[in-house]
């Protein structure tokens, strides 16, 4: 009898435990199972000192948070390339039926055509007055996929296979032209007086785990080095680095106002856009479309995609040190609200979708909310006071947010909000 009671109690305890907590690998979509957590305070130094002035934020806490993200999450950029050059290889002043001038520029990382580089596709409005404010964003399948414009160079880099988009053997073909046009309402953007610049993220670093043999990382290896050190960059940081190189070029282009460039990205490229804006303060505004884990969503909530999941599915995205926090989110020295805080006082817009629970809409909303004290310290609104997460009701302070019905994607509705938000800060500037 004793034995039976013992076995019963044993299984009962196990049952209780499994019923109450979510095993590491299972995806939690149940708000009541979000663990209790304490977020690091963006206005308290690691040594406990409170930050009460903008000066202390800029000189002490911001550099501390930035370093923590570099060393524990995205990885540091190991140095500078000395010989980068820009090469404009095509200009058409009558693109898109005369609506725009299309320029294409190669950024040659080694200064010549034999090395790696990235191609920028640039549309500049033909009406209005230069220099234009601009949106800059990386794309997933090559520049030729954002419009059916036959003048766009087809990427020769490795591309993820997608039969429907005409991509086989990891090479894009003519059939891929315009395949992703629905995500890039180029006319709408141009007609509102913005230039649009895009580049293929795989030109910077192909998105698969090859131990960092291809892409931009090897250009930075020291003698005998074969992969990034544990605190050196993964692919997200490399893509963000590429965005900064695009901005270097834009600073030289008289048609573009490089001081009014919004960096935008979706999903993994939304994570990238946020990190680019955190690292490079020249970006005037950042737009994160459904960036989720490792982007705008709080890691400690472990809702939807978790640190362990993302590091397992995409071992090359973050720095090696980030893997220490697999299933140990609470020991992270930062959380993602501080990524948004790093962009302060510059405007940040965050989008979410009801069905995109994987990216944790509420976790992104809360990150916006908990970044707000830094905006307030810098005398900006941040997320408006009393803002709520209501489907289909965007909120726009210096931090903007919307959750729309539907799935993980970029829709015209999303772009309409991005434009309304950008108009508040990048238009009527003079
Ligand atoms: C998913 C990944 C997300 C998001 C997305 C994307 O598979 O889990 O973090 O980045 O891919 O980039 O499309």
The closest-lying atom of ligand 1 relative to the alpha carbon of residue 295 is 9
* Long-range residue pairs from 25-33, CB within 8 A, at least 24 positions apart, any chain: 25/308, 25/309, 27/304, 27/305, 27/306, 27/309, 27/358, 28/302, 28/303, 28/304, 29/303, 29/304, 29/357, 31/303, 31/362
User: Pocket of ligand 1, candidates 162, 267, 288: which has the most ligand atoms within 8 Å of its Cβ, to mutate?
Assistant: 267
Give the pLDDT score at 7: 52
Q: Which residues does ligand 1 sit against, CB inside 6 Å?
A: 267-268, 292-293, 305, 310, 313
- Going by alpha carbons, the residue nearest to atom 12 of ligand 1 is 268
What is the pTM (predicted TM-score) of this model?
A: 0.94
Structure tokens at 271: 């994570």
- Going by alpha carbons, the residue nearest to atom 8 of ligand 1 is 310
Q: How many domains does the chain have?
A: 1
Evaluate whether residue 8 is within a structural domain: no
Evaluate whether residue 245 is within a structural domain: yes
Evaluate whether residue 21 is within a structural domain: no
**Residues 278, 155 contacting (CB under 8 angstroms):** no
Distance (angstroms) between ligand 1 centre and the Cα of 358 equals 9
Distance (angstroms) between ligand 1 centre and the Cα of 268 equals 5
Short-list 356, 343, 316, CA closest to 398? 343
Evaluate whether residue 41 is within a structural domain: no
**Residues 251, 245 contacting (CB under 8 angstroms):** no
Evaluate whether residue 12 is within a structural domain: no
Evaluate whether residue 380 is within a structural domain: yes
Domain range enclosing 179 = 54-425
User: Mean pLDDT per 10-residue run, the chain (430 residues)?
Assistant: 53 45 76 98 98 98 99 98 96 98 98 89 97 98 98 97 96 97 98 98 98 96 97 98 98 98 98 99 98 98 98 98 98 99 98 98 98 98 97 98 98 98 83
Task: Please indicate whether residue 408 is annotated as part of the active site.
Answer: yes
**Residues 382, 373 contacting (CB under 8 angstroms):** yes
Can you give the CATH number for the domain in which 184 is found?
3.40.50.1820
Evaluate whether residue 250 is within a structural domain: yes
Evaluate whether residue 1 is within a structural domain: no
Distance (angstroms) between ligand 1 centre and the Cα of 267 equals 6
Short-list 251, 260, 256, CA closest to 130? 256
Task: Please indicate whether residue 328 is annotated as part of the active site.
Answer: no
Give the pLDDT score at 9: 52
Structure tokens at 353: 């979708």
CA 219 to CA 109: how far, in whole Å? 9
Q: Which of 157, 176, 267, 289 is labelled catalytic? A: 267
Short-list 2, 262, 43, CA closest to 134? 262
């Amino acid at each position: 009898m004793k034995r039976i009671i013992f076995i019963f109690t044993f299984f009962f305890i196990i049952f209780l435990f499994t019923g109450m907590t979510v095993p590491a690998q299972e995806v939690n979509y149940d708000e009541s199972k979000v663990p209790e957590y304490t977020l690091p305070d963006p206005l308290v130094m690691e040594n406990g000192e409170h930050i009460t002035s903008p000066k202390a934020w800029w000189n002490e806490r911001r550099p501390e948070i930035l370093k923590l993200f570099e060393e524990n999450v995205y990885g540091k950029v190991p140095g500078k390339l000395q010989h980068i050059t820009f090469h404009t290889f095509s200009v058409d002043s009558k693109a898109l039926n005369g609506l725009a001038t299309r320029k294409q520029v190669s950024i040659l990382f080694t200064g010549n055509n034999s090395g790696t580089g990235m191609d920028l596709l640039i549309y500049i409005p033909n009406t209005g007055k230069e220099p234009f404010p601009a949106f800059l964003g990386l794309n997933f399948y090559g520049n030729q996929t954002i419009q059916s414009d036959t003048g766009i160079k087809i990427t020769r880099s490795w591309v993820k296979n997608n039969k429907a988009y005409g991509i086989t053997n990891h090479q894009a073909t003519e059939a891929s032209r315009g395949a992703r046009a629905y995500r890039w309402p180029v006319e709408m953007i141009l007609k509102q007086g913005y230039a649009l610049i895009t580049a293929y993220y795989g030109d910077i670093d192909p998105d698969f785990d090859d131990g960092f043999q291809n892409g931009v990382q090897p250009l930075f290896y020291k003698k005998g080095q074969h992969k990034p050190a544990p605190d050196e960059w993964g692919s997200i940081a490399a893509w963000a680095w590429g965005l900064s190189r695009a901005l270097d070029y834009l600073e030289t282009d008289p048609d573009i106002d490089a001081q009014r460039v919004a960096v935008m990205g979706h999903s993994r490229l939304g994570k990238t856009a946020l990190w680019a804006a955190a690292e490079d303060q020249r970006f005037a505004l950042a737009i994160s479309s459904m960036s989720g884990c490792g982007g705008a969503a709080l890691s400690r909530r472990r809702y939807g995609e978790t640190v362990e999941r993302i590091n397992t599915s995409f071992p090359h995205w973050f720095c090696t040190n980030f893997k220490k926090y697999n299933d140990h989110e609470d020991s992270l020295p930062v959380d993602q609200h501080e990524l948004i805080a790093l962009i302060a006082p510059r405007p940040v817009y965050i989008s979410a979708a009801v069905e995109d629970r994987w990216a944790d809409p509420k976790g992104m909303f809360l990150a916006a909310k908990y970044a707000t004290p830094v905006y307030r310290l810098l005398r900006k609104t941040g997320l408006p006071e009393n803002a709520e997460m209501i489907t289909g009701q965007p909120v726009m302070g210096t931090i903007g947010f919307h959750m729309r019905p539907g799935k993980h994607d970029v829709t015209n509705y999303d772009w309409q909000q991005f434009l309304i938000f950008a108009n508040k800060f990048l238009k009527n500037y003079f």
